[in-house]
A = this chain, B = another copy of it.
Amino acid sequence: MSHVTGPDTSDLVERIQQEWAQAYPDLDVAPIGILGRIQFIAARSSHRLDRRLEPHGVTRSEYDVLGALARSPHPLRASEVVSTTMLSGASITKITENLARRGLLVRRKSERDGRVVLLEPTDAGRELVETELPRRLADDEAALSGLTPAERESLAELLRKVSAAVHV
């Protein structure tokens, strides 16, 4: 393991940025240093979560759905889950039918409105979320471990500004 095993992935974004800069010297490629790294961190940490969830036999999307239900003080409609998870309605139908079959949540029709499906985690579903949540927070915490409390505060604030300005 002492020899080079490929590009140093922690510098992948920097390398890409430099390649763009060399190929198109008249463009200001500085934004790539920020947005590219955001993409990179997001991809990596998604991947990490996938691996954490593998032993539980749930995908990240399934976990997102269960999480939304577990942190809610009341059952959610399918459409409410759509709006917090960034998944399509079609996906929510598939995923929740599947999770219901596996006993991790319960689907029932609303009595008030027969079009609506109400979703609620079972004890097993809630338990899955609760055992995995601290691990997930610990992983995220580890990613931030090189930052002082002041730096974390500053990073959170800067990201808040960016996320308010990023249009679809």
Contacts and interface: CB of A to CB of B under 8 A. Distances in A.
A168 B162 CA distance: 25
Contacts of A158: 147, 151, 154-155, 158
Interface stretch (A46-54, A91-99, A104-112): A46-54
A12 interface: yes
Interface string A120-141: 0000000000100110010111
State how many copies of this chain the complex holds: 2
The dominant DSSP class at the A interface is helix
Contact size range, A: 35 or more
Given A51-B168, A71-B19, A162 B41 contact: yes
Given A32-B137, A41-B166, 10 more contacts: A23-B71, A31-B137, A31-B144, A32-B140, A38-B41, A48-B167, A48-B168, A151-B161, A155-B158, A155-B159
